[in-house]
A and B are shown apart, each in its own frame.
Chain A
Amino acid sequence: MTKRINRRRLLAGATATTALLAAPPLVRAQPQALKIAVLLPRSGYLAQAGQSCHRGAQVAGKVLADHGYRVELVHIDIESSPDVSRTQAEKAINEGAHCIVGAFDSGCTLAIAQVCEQRQVPLSVNIAAAPPITEQGYKFLVRNFPTGGMLVTNGLKLIKDVLDATKLAAKSAVFLHANDTFGAAQRTAMDALFPRAGLPFQLAESIAYDPRAQDLSVEVTKIRALNPDLVLTVTRAADAIKLVRDMVRQRFEPKGIISPGSPGLYDEEFYQALGPLADYPIYNLPWADPKAQMSQALEAAFKPAHPNFRFAVECFNVGFTFEALLVAADGFKRAGTTNGVELMRAIRATDIANHVMIGPPIKFDDKGQNVGIPSAAVQSRNRTPTVVLPATVATMTPVLPMPGWQGRS
């Protein structure tokens, strides 16, 4: 039987509809965009790395927008100071930041972490290697970056793979590291992990150098006296230049220079200073996956924005900074709200397959640490960092022993 539309029903229906339209919305309107404050050390003694990360943050907005994420980025310089980090984090949150990304330096990151914890604002760490960051119990922090221990574990394994691939017979090595926060953490990891890594060579000595020294000639002389086949290094860019330069002058040619898990052997200043002598060191680090779609999109955006810088050289800092922003943006998309607690919950449940760095989807354990970040063996070839292992993502095969210093072009 068909319903008869009579006046009463029509009136009832109209009233009901009007009431429904006039009632407050059951679902809140989605906020426009996630406001993320990016705190980086763009001046002070960490300026070089901080500015590199900043270049990544600058192009991240566009790439994220292209992938359907709505973010608004605010860039803040923390001047390599934890005091400034703390006040600027408070200020940023006051001015509406829903989330913070930063901060490269462990001390600064921890200062920000405390603010974020107290104000219940998520912190997505782009780069900071000190293990305690995810051990101190912060609930509003995630770190998509390996700890010093992870870097060394993966790095040592890759050294074995490199030696197998190049069939290099190495009998001895010397480990040289800067005596700063990062270097000391790697040294601790090396001391613990090397004996169990099953590598075919002996570690003759571990040498710590003063990061404020202007001169590494004594250290190189010391290494030369031990005459190792391999030199394992944890240095910053400026020191790496001095290291290789003094090796050349002192006519010391190790079979390989390998970093078990630190940057420094591939910065642009390193290539500029050394030219062809900069080729052939190997560094085992997480790296941008040349075959990942997100990685290619990031590179495509980076080139026009920073014509004087090479993505191939900066992808470590740029990639991780971008991924930290991606984690925040993705969490926002799934949470549908900028409320700190819910946003954090969504971020902790992150599972992003299409990202920049080599490896499985980004996921966090209950401490907020991503434990699944692998390293790749990257070698400088033609003054360009090139992935050489694992073979699935490699674009060249590794070459060891290094050719001699003389006669390179």
Chain B
Amino acid sequence: MNPSIYLEVVVQGVLTGLVYGLMALGLSVIFGVVRVVNFAHGEFTVAAMYAAYLLFSVFGVDPLVAMVPIAVAFFGIGYGLQRALVNRFVGRAEHEQFILLVGLAIIIVNGTLLIFGADARPVRLPYGFDSFVIGPVIVDKVRLYAAGAALAVAAALFLFFRFTRTGTAIRACADNLVGAAVVGLDVRRLYALTFGLGLACVGAAGALMETIADAKPELGPVYTLIAFIIVIVGGLGSMTGALIGGVLIGVSEGLAGLIIAPSMKSMMSFALLIVVLALRPQGIMGRRR
């Protein structure tokens, strides 16, 4: 096979992986700080996809632009959800969190089915079928734009955590909860903020995802699983880890599909997950606790 085919698959894998990485970033933030296992993560992503679809079909807004209001809205949802409901589950056993979020996931999946119906809902962007030819490689325009946007959002988040007081406070909570409380940080408020930020990432990622995939109610569980795999492979609590994990998964699945058989693609990701869990559970970029 022509070697440029491999290169192309790698490039596409990187681009798609960056968007997945943004989605996983939200999970990493939530799990890394608030220590809540968000098993409804994929469902929230799908909800964001539908939000982007809605804004596009009603107002004609490109999801790359809609990403911003959707992220803001999801921030609000995350903040409210955390304070109202999730807060009392922080620190509780994982299976309790799991049931709570599974219930929420079921509601979201069937709610979207009721509202939007069972058909796939794509957005018909004017440049949706275009591609760039860069040397021997063909790159989809949508994937390139989405990946760029994902990087931008991730960068913004990184700057927030690095250089703002709130961001530093949140990182303090993650590193040393007791110490943070002792120092006087309002932990509950910071938790809510973090959950909000995590969901804001999901909102942005979902909007971008809508340009690449088509919103359908049952996509939720698939994305939840992908997010968890990426977070674990990349390293919990590490932002670069989430992005690197996303890229790694995107590329390895693509190459596995090309070389072995596409129907066995996901076996690659699961095998990778098992290996990482066994040999390097903190992930590629994570720190051993």
Which A residues contact B (CB, under 8 angstroms)? 43-45, 47-48, 50-51, 179, 207-210, 212-215, 217-219, 221-222, 224-225, 237-238, 241-242, 245-246, 248-251, 267-269, 272-273, 275, 277, 405
In the bound complex, how far is the Cα of B215 from the Cα of A238, in angstroms?
A: 10
In the A-B complex, the 7 residue pairs with the closest CB atoms: A47-B118, A48-B118, A179-B263, A208-B263, A218-B257, A238-B120, A269-B119
Given A214-B213, A219-B257 in contact, is the A47-B113 Cβ separation under 8 Å? yes
Residue in A closest to B1 when the chains form the complex, CB atoms: A225
Query: Given A218-B258, A249-B129, is A268 in contact with B5 using a C-beta cutoff of 8 Å?
Result: no
Q: Is the beta-carbon distance between A225 and B138 smaller than 8 angstroms?
A: no
The CA of A370 and the CA of B254, in the complex, are separated in Å by 43
Query: Considering the chains assembled together, what is the distance between the CA atoms of A129 and B263 in angstroms?
Result: 21
Q: Are A207 and B262 in contact (CB under 8 A)?
A: yes
**How near does chain A come to B271, taking the closest CB pair, in angstroms?**
14
A405 neighbours in B (Cβ, 8 Å)? 129
A52 to B69, CA, bound (A): 35
A246 to B: closest C-beta gap in Å: 8
Q: Is the CB of A217 within 8 A of B131?
A: no
A43 contacts across to B, CB distance below 8 A: 110, 113
Interface pair B131/A250, CB less than 8 Å apart: yes
With a cutoff of 8 Å between Cβ atoms, the chain A residues found around residue B265 in the complex are 210, 213, 218
Which residues in B have their C-beta under 8 angstroms from that of A214?
A: 212-213, 219, 222
Q: A47–B219 Cα gap in the complex (Å)?
A: 13
Whether the Cβ atoms of A212 and B266 lie closer than 8 Å is: yes
User: Beyond the given A179-B263, A217-B140, A249-B138, could you list 13 further A-B residue pairs with CB under 8 A, ordered by the A residue number?
Assistant: A47-B118, A208-B263, A214-B212, A214-B213, A219-B257, A221-B258, A222-B258, A222-B262, A238-B120, A238-B216, A249-B131, A273-B120, A273-B214
Give Cα A245 to B253, complex, Å.
20
A248 nearest in chain B by CB position: B129
How far is it, in angstroms, between the C-alpha of A225 and the C-alpha of B9 when the chains are bound?
Answer: 12
Q: Which residues of A contact B212 (CB under 8 A)?
A: 214-215
CB distance from B215 to the nearest CB of A (A): 10
Chain B residues in 8 Å Cβ range of A245: 128-129
Whether B122 sits at the interface, judged by CB under 8 Å, is: yes
What are 14 A-B residue pairs whose CB atoms fall within 8 Å in the complex? A48-B117, A208-B261, A208-B263, A214-B219, A215-B213, A218-B9, A218-B262, A219-B262, A225-B5, A238-B216, A241-B120, A241-B122, A249-B130, A273-B122
Interface pair A209/B262, CB less than 8 Å apart: yes
Q: Does B287 contact A (CB under 8 A)?
A: no
In the complex, whether B164 has a CB less than 8 A from a CB of chain A is no
Residue of chain A at shortest CB distance from B20: A214
**Bound: A48/B217 CA distance, A:** 10
Are B262 and A237 touching (Cβ within 8 A)?
Answer: no
In the complex, B224 has a CB within 8 A of chain A: no
Which B residues are CB-close (under 8 A) to A267? 119
Q: How far is the CB of A21 from chain B (nearest CB, A)?
A: 58
Partner of A237, one of B9, B120, B253: B120
A217 cross-chain contacts in B, Cβ below 8 A = 9, 12, 16, 140, 254
Contact between B217 and A47, CB atoms less than 8 A apart: yes
Distance from A179 Cβ to chain B, minimum over Cβ atoms (Å): 4
Given contacts A47-B118, A218-B257, A272-B122, are A249 and B140 in contact (CB under 8 A)?
A: yes
A267–B119 Cα distance when bound, in Å, is 9
Annotate B110-141 by CB proximity to A: 1 below 8 A, 0 otherwise: 10010001111110100011110000001011
Most chain B beta carbons < 10 A, residue from A213, A225, A249 = A249
Q: Which residues of chain B are within 8 angstroms of A277 by Cβ–Cβ distance?
A: 129
Bits for B211-243, please: 1 = Cβ < 8 Å to A, else 0. 011101111001000000000000000000000
Of residues 1 to 41 in B, which have CB atoms within 8 Å of A's CB atoms?
A: 1-2, 5, 8-9, 12, 16
CB distance from B93 to the nearest CB of A (A): 28
A45 to B129, CA, bound (A): 28
